[in-house]
Structure 1
């Protein structure tokens, strides 16, 4: 029996390495082929899931929006009538009012409030938007609020006015500019009492109350 030579052993070792490399290459090829088939499917599934999720969220949001809107009460050209604690009448009107079903507050578009003074004159407040809390009888006016008193002849412009319809007191702390028969005034905050019979202006820090008096009118 012939003993294997070193060259035979080297040849056999090379053949085993080649065979092992071939098996590894075929295994990698199978994995690559599998990934080529599976990855597109995974991508399609993930993309479809994302689209489905977005669509589902949109549907849910739309249903929720419809549910809330269906509970809202919309009024065109509404008019709210009332009296303060001293029996003085007021009217709140708007182009449109929407009652929030969760808070019970009315969102007002282009609101106007008219106060009927004891003298028969009318004070008027108008704004771009407003909120009316009927149970607490509070009216909040925002966006270019204009306050006009036909009796005293003053006109104020302010970003916000809060009206307590029970007492008739109007307040604001977002600044105010006014003009009247005696001149002009600028202040950081204000309070209007007795339906315009008394007005108190306040300043804070460097934002002081500033007035310009018309001497002729004052005389």
Structure 2
């Protein structure tokens, strides 16, 4: 049995491609928009790169046109530290501690050398404590374990000797002090003046050299030997 189409309804029948033609048009529109967006991004990136290149060129040109007279100003690498503390031990494993008001690392200074303002030393080799200022300025050489003191140097030993000078080098490894400037010293035996001095063996030996002048003080507390009375001879 065959079915005959009703005449006049063929125009209402959908064609073979009618289901995907609108989708194809929509996809083409999206592709066109994506392509336009990518082109816009490329233009933005190119404009940014050109702007950076122009800025770098401008800075180079302005730098070359700057003033050339005078010394060039370089960034300082000087470092400052307040209330520093350095610790260590000598050859006898005796601990010591160095403190100061300010520590300065100068640009171009030797490695491990620190400049100190109003240094102090807590060390059994020398009398005093960490609150006692040894000098106005100093230099701590960490690799060599030396403390150089300058200007208004004041040192004391546990044996009761005090020294005033403008220079002292404390050899922390050896428990030794050397001074290349004139020194004034006072102690239990009197006063002394010399051009150079050295404190050795942890203060057991003190050596003075150059125009040495000493004034000894007699110990008046020593007992005076009793005088022997004359014997009477029997007649």
1:108 and 2:121 equivalent? no
Number of aligned residues: 152
Deviation for aligned residue 1:136 = 1.6
In 2, distance between residues paired with 1:215 and 1:147?
24
Q: 1:97 aligns with which of 99, 103, 127?
A: 103
Judged with a 3 Å threshold, the aligned counterparts in structure 2 of structure 1 residues 145 and 190 are, in CA distance, closer, same or farther, namely: same
Q: Larger Cα Rg: Structure 1 or Structure 2?
A: 2
SS of 1:195's partner is helix
Deviation for aligned residue 1:218 = 8.4
Deviation for aligned residue 1:183 = 0.9
Q: 1:177 aligns with which of 165, 173, 184?
A: 184
Q: How well do the aligned residues superpose, as a CA RMSD in angstroms?
A: 2.3
1:75 and 2:78 equivalent? no
SS of 1:144's partner is strand
Q: 1:57-68 residue pairs with structure 2 within 5 A?
A: 57=70, 60=72, 63-64=73-74, 67-68=75-76
Q: 2:90 aligns with which of 71, 84, 92?
A: 84
1:210 and 2:201 equivalent? no
Higher strand content, 1 or 2: 1
Judged with a 3 Å threshold, the aligned counterparts in structure 2 of structure 1 residues 218 and 200 are, in CA distance, closer, same or farther, namely: farther
Judged with a 3 Å threshold, the aligned counterparts in structure 2 of structure 1 residues 121 and 138 are, in CA distance, closer, same or farther, namely: closer
Is contact 2:127-2:156 (8 Å) kept? no
Judged with a 3 Å threshold, the aligned counterparts in structure 2 of structure 1 residues 109 and 166 are, in CA distance, closer, same or farther, namely: same
In 2, distance between residues paired with 1:211 and 1:163?
24
In structure 2, the partner of 1:158 is 165
Is contact 1:181-1:217 (8 Å) kept? no
Deviation for aligned residue 1:170 = 0.6
In 1, distance between residues paired with 2:216 and 2:196?
19
| Displacement over 3 Å in runs of 4+ | 120-125
In 1, distance between residues paired with 2:136 and 2:166?
10
In 2, distance between residues paired with 1:146 and 1:88?
22
In 1, distance between residues paired with 2:220 and 2:99?
35
Long gaps (5+) in structure 2:
1-66, 223-235
Higher helix content, 1 or 2: 1
Q: 1:139 aligns with which of 131, 147, 156?
A: 147
